[in-house]
Structure 1
């Protein structure tokens, strides 16, 4: 199964539906206080990086599983985003079209 940001050709492929997955991750209380007190340290930033590094594969794996369940050959029009909900909490979201050949 492949992922691509490119659109699919409706003359050769059909959409099986939009695949949407989200993961919400949160940091430790210590990192939250660092944000609140504006006392960032390299360790705090490392924690946020590790949070996102672990969330990205999880959201992509879930999307691939949904596409496989639908019988999709691949996922087209992929978008992945990262949003800060509030200090210490991040939303990782994935969307794309599950597509199979005609």
Structure 2
């Protein structure tokens, strides 16, 4: 029984991965803290779903947006594995100048 649990934990750890998409809008210095740092829920691996973040509105104009990131963290991947892909969250961040 212990071997089965250990094998399941190892498989879950190996199958979860981190992924990050970064969109740099301006090479100018940005704030160190994100204006938005929000977990966005997706279901069934996000098939046919989309979420929208208005970065220009958050930063007070499109010229003030420095960087936008979308990331699947280790915890997000682990939640996805535990729920068999039914719940697959992603982390969204917006950085302003």
Tell me the TM-score normalised to structure 1 length: 0.40
Tell me the TM-score normalised to structure 2 length: 0.42
Question: Which structure carries more strand by proportion?
Answer: 1
Which protein, 1 or 2, shows the higher relative CO under an 8 Å CA cutoff with sep ≥ 6? 1
